[in-house]
Amino acid sequence: MNGNGRFKGVNPEYERVRTDSDGDGLSDRWEDYNGRDPDDGRLQFEFDCGGWQTEGWMSEGDLTNIAGRQGFLDFDLFAAQASITRGGLKLDAAKNQGKLAIRVRSTTATKLSVSANGKSLGTASIGGDNQFSTVEIPLGRAWTGTIKSLQLTWSAPKGTTVEIDWIRVQ
């Protein structure tokens, strides 16, 4: 009863036991249902799947629920600093070269710090005009081997609303 039977659901409980051939944290079945490539090994989060809307991202305290409208994550900061994390990855860094790009907006000027496997990758500034823009973090020397986890830490005044459209390597 591992969710590979007659149901096409994307229940998170199924995702724990389904095979993820390319290590992007999304099962082969999920990727098939949602038009992704289960063999590309690419880091890609779009948040456009209603059945598993956060695509495995979790809040790490001091945030509201992160599931936003279809196609987005959004949350309010309960403190001046809070994080969202994505574990369960087995991404080959060599297949994901370039920049980590995040399309995001914020109601107040926000500093974003990004870590992978607990090591800092870099920071970016998001304007406080609540307009979507794409911030890019070059993937330097800390981005190597197998990427198992990502952490995005947001620093902004308490009450700031952040909305993420997508996260990709490009």
**Residues binding Ca ion (CB under 5 A):** 20, 22, 24, 26, 36, 40
> DSSP states of 41-54 as a string?
---EE----GGGTT
Of the pair 39, 129, the CB lying nearest Ca ion is at 39
Residues near 92 by Cβ (< 8 Å), separated by ≥ 6?
A: 23, 41, 146, 147
Quote the least distance from Cβ 16 to Ca ion, whole Å.
13
| Closest by Cα among 60, 93, 62, 99 to 79 | 62
Please state, in angstroms and rounded to a whole number, the distance separating the CA atoms of residues 1 and 146.
Answer: 30
Q: Which helix (H) or strand (E) holds 13?
A: helix 12-17
Of the pair 31, 74, the CB lying nearest Ca ion is at 31
Quote the least distance from Cβ 130 to Ca ion, whole Å.
31
Of the pair 162, 169, the CB lying nearest Ca ion is at 169
Quote the least distance from Cβ 61 to Ca ion, whole Å.
28
Quote the least distance from Cβ 79 to Ca ion, whole Å.
33
Quote the least distance from Cβ 24 to Ca ion, whole Å.
4
Please state, in angstroms and rounded to a whole number, the distance separating the CA atoms of residues 27 and 76.
Answer: 29
Of the pair 26, 116, the CB lying nearest Ca ion is at 26
Of the pair 22, 165, the CB lying nearest Ca ion is at 22
Give the amino acid at 87: G
- Which tokens hold the place of 33? 């249902």
